[in-house]
């Protein structure tokens, strides 16, 4: 062991693990007093082990030179290990400092910002406190009686406050009326401008469409579909769906039955294989099970999703489910087919399409086939027209007729189908429309016939009955 650097008479037999340094007993006492957290350990255990090693070496017969050389080597190795340990501790300390700087530096910066903001808020609070104190002092002074010229002037003017208030209220009311009139004038101006612009654009588009339809080509072009020569008698037209703008004659362009677009027959139009109606290929649907092209009406029936929504809005009833019970084009235009499909099914909606393409019908909550006889009463019964989007409620009278001699029949003076007659689509007397009669349970006097007929009879193109809930 070496001597203490500070106290040469004492041996440095103490070691501080925190400072990584050797010291004597006096230095260790001073060091403990100054640094309470430092860990200082005595070297007596190390010395005892070293002495035992020396005795072991002496008993083995080693010479003093060899012992000194061995001790010198052990001392150098110990010094090397201590140096290496110090370097590792320094590197660990550096890493810890970098970690702290990387992880906690942003938070320290944010903390400093918060401290600065707190200082600003503190200064503002001091200013606010000063202002509050000043306000309280002013209010306190204001409560004291003030006798002077200003006070007399205010006392004199106090009598005119109510009159001034009335005048201000009148002015505010007049200003409100003026603003209301200005806003109304602005709305009228906007409506006029909008209507004018929409009418102008509508007329322009209509004019352009008419020009495109009436345009006569004398260049000798041939129709893309039938090969006919375009002439004055057979003018050229273009399909609204084809992207290549090919020339077609007037006979080869057909309007779609749904969207009314003028489309060519060969490429962009198809016929319904059930009813033969011409529709464009984007509107017509293919039944993959039957391999047939079906128009919208043959595929979904008279009631589309939009029709059900309209019916719910007209009746004020939320129709959750609807099941098709009877379809005349499928089941037959007969009373027996109607009653076999629709009797005792609960609330139903009947939809009829006349030969004049008017779609109308009726709703009853009673089941068909349960009140056999003339003049059944259902206070909740209604009739409707999907064409004109109108609803006709029962006027607390006979709502429908029921029995094997009737098809779906509504009212007193009748709107119905199949009174002792079948073949509703061909027999003009099988369907009756007396909706213009004032004695009817649903309609007012002089109401136009709901079927579109000019007489009291019509033919039915389709009749459908749905069970609803």
Q: Give the closest residue to 349 by CA, choosing from 338, 364, 360.
A: 364
Give mean pLDDT, residues 44-49.
Answer: 52
Same domain, 189 and 114: no
Q: Is 185 helix (H, G, I), strand (E, B) or coil?
A: helix
Helices in 316-363 by DSSP H: which ranges?
Answer: 328-331, 335-342
Q: Does residue 328 lie within any of the structural domains? A: yes
Which of 141, 175, 196 terminates a domain? The answer is: 141
For residue range 82-139, list pLDDT tens digits in order: 788 888 888 888 887 777 777 777 777 777 888 888 888 888 888 888 888 877 776 6
Of residues 36 and 220, more confidently modeled = 36
Domains identified in the chain, total number: 3
Q: Which of 192-206, 277-291, 384-398, 401-415 has the lowest mean pLDDT?
A: 277-291
The model's confidence at residue 216, banded by pLDDT at 50, 70 and 90, is: very low
Q: Given a cut of 50, is residue 199 above it in pLDDT?
A: yes
Q: Are residues 130 and 175 in the same domain?
A: no
Mention every residue, 6+ apart, whose C-beta is less than 8 A from residue 13.
1, 24, 25, 42, 43, 44, 47
Task: Please check whether residue 430 is in contact with residue 423, taking contact to mean a CB–CB distance below 8 angstroms.
Answer: yes
- Range with the largest mean pLDDT of 217-231, 283-297, 440-454: 440-454
Domain match, 126 and 47 both: yes
77 and 188: one domain?
Answer: no
Sequence-separated (6 or more) residues with CB below 8 Å from residue 469:
319, 320, 321, 346, 347
Label residue 377 by pLDDT band (50, 70, 90): confident
What is the C-alpha separation between 36 and 221, in angstroms, rounded? 111
Which of 182, 213, 244 is at the close of a domain?
213
Q: Determine the Cα angle at 307 with ends 302 and 312, to 5°.
A: 130
Q: Looking at the structure, tell me whether residues 124 and 92 fall in a common domain.
A: yes
Asked whether residue 33 is assigned to any structural domain, the reply reads: no
The answer on 454 and 307 residing in a single domain is yes
Same domain flag for 331 and 409: yes
Q: Are residues 177 and 78 in the same domain?
A: no
Check whether 465 has a pLDDT greater than 90: yes
Q: In which domain, by residue range, is 97 found?
A: 43-141
Residues 403 and 353 in one domain: yes
pLDDT digit string, tens, across residues 286-304: 666 666 666 666 666 778 7
In a domain, 245, yes or no: no
Mean pLDDT calculated for residue range 144-158: 54
Would you say 333 and 441 are in contact if contact means Cβ atoms under 8 Å apart? no
Residue 146 pLDDT: 47
**Those residues with Cβ within 8 angstroms of residue 41's Cβ, 6 or more apart along the chain or in another chain:** 14, 15, 17
Beta-carbon contacts of residue 381 (< 8 Å; ≥ 6 apart): 362, 363, 364, 365, 394, 399, 400, 410, 441
Share of the chain above pLDDT 90, in %: 6
pLDDT class for 343, splitting at 50, 70, 90?
Answer: very high
Report d(CA 133, CA 135) in Å as an integer. Answer: 5
The per-residue pLDDT for 51 is: 56
329 and 181 within one domain: no
Q: Domain for residue 448, yes or no? A: yes
The yes-or-no verdict on residue 156 having pLDDT over 70 is no
> In this structure, are 122 and 171 located in the same domain?
no
Lowest average pLDDT, out of 118-122, 153-157, 248-252, 299-303, goes to 153-157
Q: Range with the lowest mean pLDDT among 176-180, 221-225, 325-329?
A: 221-225
Same domain, 186 and 136: no
Residue 23 lies in a domain: no
What token pair was written down for 136?
A: 């309280």
Percent share of the chain, pLDDT over 70: 74
Q: Model confidence at 426, in pLDDT bands (50, 70, 90)?
A: confident
Q: Is residue 24 part of a domain?
A: no
Alpha-carbon distance 364 to 317, whole Å? 13
Domain-located, residue 425: yes
Rg (CA), the chain: 53
Q: Residue 264 pLDDT > 50, yes or no? A: yes
Q: Is residue 1 part of a domain?
A: no
Residue 236 burial (CB < 10 Å; 0-12/13-18/19+)? buried
pLDDT averaged over every residue in the chain:
76
């Amino acid at each position: 062991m070496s001597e203490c650097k500070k106290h040469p008479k004492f041996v440095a037999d103490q070691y501080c693990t925190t400072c990584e340094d050797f010291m004597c007993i006096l230095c260790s006492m001073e060091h403990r007093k100054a640094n309470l957290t430092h860990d200082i350990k005595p070297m007596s255990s190390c010395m005892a082990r070293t002495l035992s090693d020396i005795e072991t070496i002496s008993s083995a017969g080693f010479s003093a030179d060899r012992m000194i050389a061995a001790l010198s080597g052990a001392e150098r190795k110990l010094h090397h290990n201590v140096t290496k340990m110090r370097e590792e501790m320094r590197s660990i300390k550096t890493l810890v400092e970098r970690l702290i700087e990387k992880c906690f530096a942003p938070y320290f910066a944010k903390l400093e910002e918060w401290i600065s903001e707190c200082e600003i808020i503190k200064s503002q609070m001091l200013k606010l406190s000063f202002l509050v104190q000043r306000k309280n002092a002013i209010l306190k002074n204001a409560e004291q009686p003030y006798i002077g010229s200003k006070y007399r002037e205010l006392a004199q003017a106090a009598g005119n406050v109510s009159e001034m208030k009335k005048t201000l209220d009148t002015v505010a009311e007049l200003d409100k009326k003026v603003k209301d009139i200005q806003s109304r004038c602005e709305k009228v101006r906007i409506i006029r401008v909008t209507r004018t612009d929409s009418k102008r654009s509508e007329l322009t588009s209509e004019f352009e469409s008419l020009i495109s339809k009436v345009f006569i080509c004398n260049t000798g072009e041939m129709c893309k579909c039938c090969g006919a020569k375009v002439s004055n008698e057979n003018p050229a037209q273009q399909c609204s769906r084809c992207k290549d703008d090919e020339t077609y004659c007037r006979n080869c362009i057909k309007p779609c039955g749904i969207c009314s677009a003028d489309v060519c027959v060969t490429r962009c139009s198809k016929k319904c294989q059930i009813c033969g109606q011409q529709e464009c290929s984007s509107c017509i649907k293919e039944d993959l099970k039957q391999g047939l092209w079906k128009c919208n009406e043959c595929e979904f029936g008279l009631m589309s999703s939009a029709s059900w929504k309209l019916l719910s809005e007209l009746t004020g009833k939320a129709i959750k489910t609807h099941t098709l019970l009877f379809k005349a084009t499928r089941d037959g235009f007969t009373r027996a087919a109607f009653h076999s499909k629709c009797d005792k099914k609960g609330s139903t909606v009947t939809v009829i399409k006349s030969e004049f393409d008017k779609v109308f019908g009726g709703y009853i909550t009673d089941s068909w086939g349960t009140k056999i006889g003339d003049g059944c009463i259902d206070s909740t019964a209604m009739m409707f027209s999907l064409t004109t989007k109108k609803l006709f409620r029962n006027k607390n009278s006979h709502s429908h007729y029921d029995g094997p001699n009737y098809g779906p029949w509504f009212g007193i003076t009748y709107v119905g189908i199949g009174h002792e007659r079948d073949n509703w689509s061909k027999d003009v007397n099988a369907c009756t429309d007396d909706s213009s009669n004032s004695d009817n349970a649903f309609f007012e006097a002089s109401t136009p016939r709901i079927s579109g007929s000019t007489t009291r009879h019509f033919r039915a193109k389709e009749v459908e009955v749905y069970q609803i809930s």
